[in-house]
Amino acid sequence: MPEATARGMVPTLNSKGFMSTSLDPVSAAFAAFSGQCDGLSLDLGCAYGIATLAALDNGADVVACDMELGHVQVLRDQVPVDRSDSLRTVVAEMPRLAFAPGTFSAVLCSRALHFLQGHDVEETVRRIAAWLAPSGKVFLIADTPYTGFWAAGAEDYERRKAEDHPWPGFIADVTVFLPDTARSKGNMRFLNPMDPDVLARVCRDAGLTVEHAAFSGRPDQPDARTHAGVIASKPS
Evaluate if residue 79 carries a pLDDT over 60: yes
Report how far residue 143's alpha carbon sits from residue 141's, in angstroms, rounded to the nearest whole number.
7
In tens, the pLDDT along 204-221 reads 999 999 999 999 986 666
pLDDT at residue 182, as a whole number: 53
Answer whether 19's CB lies under 8 Å from 10's CB: yes
More confident residue, 190 or 1: 190
Answer whether 192's CB lies under 8 Å from 114's CB: yes
Percent of the chain at pLDDT exceeding 90:
70
Task: Name the DSSP class of 187.
Answer: -
More confident residue, 213 or 189: 213
Of 31-40, 89-98, 196-205, 213-222, the one with minimum mean pLDDT is 213-222
**Mean pLDDT score across all residues of the chain:** 90
Evaluate if residue 14 carries a pLDDT over 90: no
Report how far residue 187's alpha carbon sits from residue 14's, in angstroms, rounded to the nearest whole number.
9
Evaluate if residue 226 carries a pLDDT over 80: yes
In tens, the pLDDT along 91-117 reads 999 998 999 999 999 999 999 999 999
For 57-89, letters b (16+ CB in 10 Å) and e give ebebbbbbbbbbeebbebbeeebeeeeeebbeb
Evaluate if residue 68 carries a pLDDT over 80: yes
- 62 - beta bridge partners? 41, 87
Nearest CA to 157 out of 192, 118, 204 is that of 192
The CA distances from residue 145 to 22, 46, 60, in Å, are 21, 22, 33
In tens, the pLDDT along 123-144 reads 999 999 999 999 999 999 999 9
Q: SS3 breakdown of the chain: % helix, strand, coil, rounded to 5?
A: 35, 25, 40
